[in-house]
Structure 1
Amino acid sequence: MAMRTSRTAVVGLVLVVALAGCVGPVGELPVDGPSTTTGGDATTASTAPTTGGDATTRSTPSTVGSSPGTSEGTPSPTPTAAPDRENPWGSGPIVVAIRDTSGTARNWTPLVREATAYWEAEGERFAGFPVTYTVRPDATDPDIVLEFVDTVPRCEGADDAAGCAPLIEDRRQIDRPETVFVRTGFSDNSTARVVEHELGHTLGLTHDDAPQFVMASRTVLYTEPQPDATERAFPWDDPNFSVYVDVANASDPDGARRQVEHALDYYGAGAPGMASNITFTTVESAAEAEIVVQSVETSPCGEDAASCGRTVGQDPDGDGAVETYSRLRISLVDLDTDAVAWHTGYWLAYGLGAEDDSEKPSPFRNASYEERRSEWWT
């Protein structure tokens, strides 16, 4: 009685946008995310000062580039497969069926055909033998079933995988139909890349093998299109914020701190038109904080600006725009103490989703010099 042996290769997902390493025969490897900024974050860029009286510098999301691993145009490493290696699937076409247990309405067939066409063109070069496929989504007796799922079943210890396939190096390992799992929720290009990667494992290729832009465990995956932060009513993952306040450089640090607290309390109590369940917890360092309010000696805000705000966020769909914010930094420049609350409140409204002044609570719409220094929060 023949014994079936197989080793499992897995592609993990970290921070929604990155492929992690493989478990099983080659071990787990580090993870890359979008490489433009630390941790896959994208930052906003300041524009010219606006509003009268004290000038405030408005921040708007900037275009952020990304480098998804090694591009298709990059020369591939020297093939590692032995020439004329035997095809474990035999000489005929490998029949691929498609199954969707996720309930999505996407048409996966063109993406699967894109992936199989890649290996038909490159199989002999990289796997060591020619490969042909027949993609028949409803095949009743396939060699491989590509199953699209919301969550890939636990795969050799990986908790969160983008795909999972058997590593097939010998025809004695094959028990038709072999199932290859692919997680849904990715863009078309990223989905095709995951399918290419997993089919590579069914041809005996590991993460150490060429072509590295397909088989390496380090790459970037993008999600399906998502609303940008500026299109969301609330552009954060949750309404509970850690806050660090540094007003040591203010002319009256104690007074400035009380002013910042007035602004925080205003939103914590449910500012008109803003989320009603916001909470703020003070932390001891800027590194711990999602929101940093800081009086500064050297202005990052531009000439004549009294304050500015800078947001940082994630770009999981790779469209160059931030989808959700992860940090807000408010810089206060040489302000009168009694104007600190207004400037802090203005930028809190911006960071909480009211980018346009017409969307902000009424104290921040065309406020005069005197109104900015009033007890507007009462």
Structure 2
Amino acid sequence: MDRRTAVALVAVALVTVSGCSAASEAVGELGEQRHPFADETVAVAVDGTDRERALTRDALTYWESHAAEYAGFETEFRLVDPGETPTTAGPIVEVRFVETVGDCGDTDYSAGCAPRINATTRVDWPATVRVQRGFDDDSTRLVAMHEVGHLLGRSHDDAPRDVMRHERALATLPRPNASERPVPWNDSTLTVAVRGEGLSDAERAAYREEVAYAAAYVGEGADGTVPANVSVDVVDDPETADVVVEPVASAECRPDAGSCARVEGTDPDADGAIETYTRVEILLVDLDREAASWHVARQLLVAFGVDEAAIPARLADATYDERRGAWHG
């Protein structure tokens, strides 16, 4: 009977960021009220790569087709070379691709930022748009479309909602999956805690001792399968710990498993695979307390992304008695 592991990956949400418009800079003189882009050809310089320039052109083309419908006027855009001084009079826009946009208006973190221009806005040309780089093509194009919408006077509550709403789920460029990284966490030090509402203080302390045995084995390298810079600290608070160990009477593990791990993480590039682990829950299913250390050690290797084929023999080839009895590495 095989009682090794059952691993379940929980659903992972994409990174959610927001586009934001800076406050209008000043109100112009009263008189004829018309948007400065209305019926104009707007010169746009893009400080970015060829890919980023092409995606910006896509965003501009979208608004050339939809400005009349959503902004109430026709407009055209003309890409100019970086550093070129347009020879025609009229509004000028500079789109800068940056590593971090930072704050924008009342938003501390944004994927993009642009002034929201309307008929009474006085702007010092060029109007500057910032777009965070590192997103995939669809997300970069969407952020650029969103920010150009602000230039045309659109707010987060305006149509088209699929472009202008404030918060969006954006995907980054491809990143290494957790299975491809030496340590699938953002930190090489993991904290582990015991959780169990039905445990007495004495029982919790006994489980903590078993977890400490397993943590020491893994922190010392687990027979060479865990990188040398990795460490595992046993802590008291399960709410803030990276890894939580919980004895349970039953769980949605494989029917013959004595333990299983629930892995949570992020998938910023939206490829369907976790790139970074954020939390692991180790469930000990109907086990005697003295059997906990073998199962916790086995599941901690899952938490560190150790490939199944690389599991040390003392864990991979353990007998039933070794998996169900005392084991101290």
Q: What TM-score range do you get, normalising by the shorter chain?
A: 0.7 to 0.9
- Bigger CA drift: 55-64 or 302-311? 55-64
How many Å separate the matches in 2 of 1:273 and 1:156?
48
Report what 1:20 is aligned to.
Answer: none
**Pairing 1:363–2:307 present:** no
**Pairing 1:210–2:159 present:** yes
Displacement after TM superposition at 1:160 (Å): 2.7
Report what 1:231 is aligned to.
Answer: 180
Question: Structure 1 residue aligned with 2:169, among 201, 211, 220?
Answer: 220
Displacement after TM superposition at 1:56 (Å): 2.6
Q: Give the letter aligned to residue 244 of structure 1.
A: A
How many Å separate the matches in 1 of 2:121 and 2:156?
22
Question: Structure 1 residue aligned with 2:68, among 95, 109, 124?
Answer: 124
Is the 1:168–1:204 Cα contact (8 Å) retained in structure 2? yes
Displacement after TM superposition at 1:273 (Å): 2.3
Residue 63 to residue 243, structure 1, CA distance change in 2 (3 Å): closer
How many Å separate the matches in 1 of 2:130 and 2:174?
22
**Pairing 1:109–2:53 present:** yes
Residue 227 to residue 61, structure 1, CA distance change in 2 (3 Å): farther
How many Å separate the matches in 1 of 2:107 and 2:121?
26
Displacement after TM superposition at 1:312 (Å): 0.6
Q: Give the letter aligned to residue 121 of structure 1.
A: S
Question: Structure 2 residue aligned with 1:278, among 221, 224, 231?
Answer: 231
Report what 2:45 is aligned to.
Answer: 97
SS in 2 for 1:341: helix
Displacement after TM superposition at 1:363 (Å): 2.2
Is the 2:55–2:140 Cα contact (8 Å) retained in structure 1? yes
Displacement after TM superposition at 1:280 (Å): 1.4
SS in 2 for 1:161: coil
Report what 1:56 is aligned to.
Answer: 4
SS in 2 for 1:57: coil
Question: Structure 1 residue aligned with 2:213, among 255, 262, 266?
Answer: 262
Report what 1:186 is aligned to.
Answer: 135
How many Å separate the matches in 1 of 2:16 and 2:109?
20
Is the 1:314–1:326 Cα contact (8 Å) retained in structure 2? yes
Residue 172 to residue 297, structure 1, CA distance change in 2 (3 Å): closer
Displacement after TM superposition at 1:246 (Å): 3.4
- 1:292-325 deviations in whole A, cap 9, x for unaligned? 1111112321322211111011111122221111
Is the 1:213–1:219 Cα contact (8 Å) retained in structure 2? no
How many Å separate the matches in 1 of 2:162 and 2:121?
29
How many Å separate the matches in 2 of 1:195 and 1:303?
50
How many Å separate the matches in 2 of 1:137 and 1:319?
34
Q: Give the letter aligned to residue 155 of structure 2.
A: T
Displacement after TM superposition at 1:109 (Å): 2.0
Q: Give the letter aligned to residue 218 of structure 2.
A: Y
Question: Structure 2 residue aligned with 1:312, among 245, 264, 267?
Answer: 264
SS in 2 for 1:223: coil
Q: Give the letter aligned to residue 235 of structure 1.
A: P
Displacement after TM superposition at 1:112 (Å): 0.8
Report what 2:254 is aligned to.
Answer: 302
- Bigger CA drift: 143-152 or 263-272? 263-272
Residue 289 to residue 324, structure 1, CA distance change in 2 (3 Å): same
- Bigger CA drift: 168-177 or 117-126? 168-177
Q: Percent identity?
A: 36
SS in 1 for 2:51: coil
- Bigger CA drift: 241-250 or 265-274? 241-250
How many Å separate the matches in 1 of 2:111 and 2:272?
22
Counterpart mapping for 1:144-163 below 5 A: 144-152=93-101, 154-156=103-105, 158-163=107-112
Is the 2:215–2:233 Cα contact (8 Å) retained in structure 1? yes
Q: Give the letter aligned to residue 92 of structure 1.
A: E
Is the 1:88–1:171 Cα contact (8 Å) retained in structure 2? no
Residue 228 to residue 216, structure 1, CA distance change in 2 (3 Å): same
Is the 2:93–2:125 Cα contact (8 Å) retained in structure 1? yes
Task: Output the TM-score relative to the length of structure 1.
Answer: 0.72
Displacement after TM superposition at 1:202 (Å): 0.9
Residue 60 to residue 68, structure 1, CA distance change in 2 (3 Å): same
Residue 177 to residue 122, structure 1, CA distance change in 2 (3 Å): same
Which portions of structure 1, spanning 4 or more consecutive aligned residues, are displaced by more than 6 angstroms?
65-69
Displacement after TM superposition at 1:203 (Å): 0.9
Is the 2:195–2:246 Cα contact (8 Å) retained in structure 1? yes
- Bigger CA drift: 145-154 or 126-135? 145-154
Report what 1:46 is aligned to.
Answer: none
SS in 1 for 2:40: coil
How many Å separate the matches in 2 of 1:345 and 1:307?
11
Report what 1:23 is aligned to.
Answer: none
Task: Output the TM-score relative to the length of structure 2.
Answer: 0.82
Displacement after TM superposition at 1:96 (Å): 1.1
**Pairing 1:287–2:239 present:** yes
Question: Structure 1 residue aligned with 2:285, among 312, 333, 338?
Answer: 333
Residue 172 to residue 232, structure 1, CA distance change in 2 (3 Å): closer
How many Å separate the matches in 2 of 1:336 and 1:131?
73
**Pairing 1:346–2:294 present:** no
Residue 106 to residue 262, structure 1, CA distance change in 2 (3 Å): farther
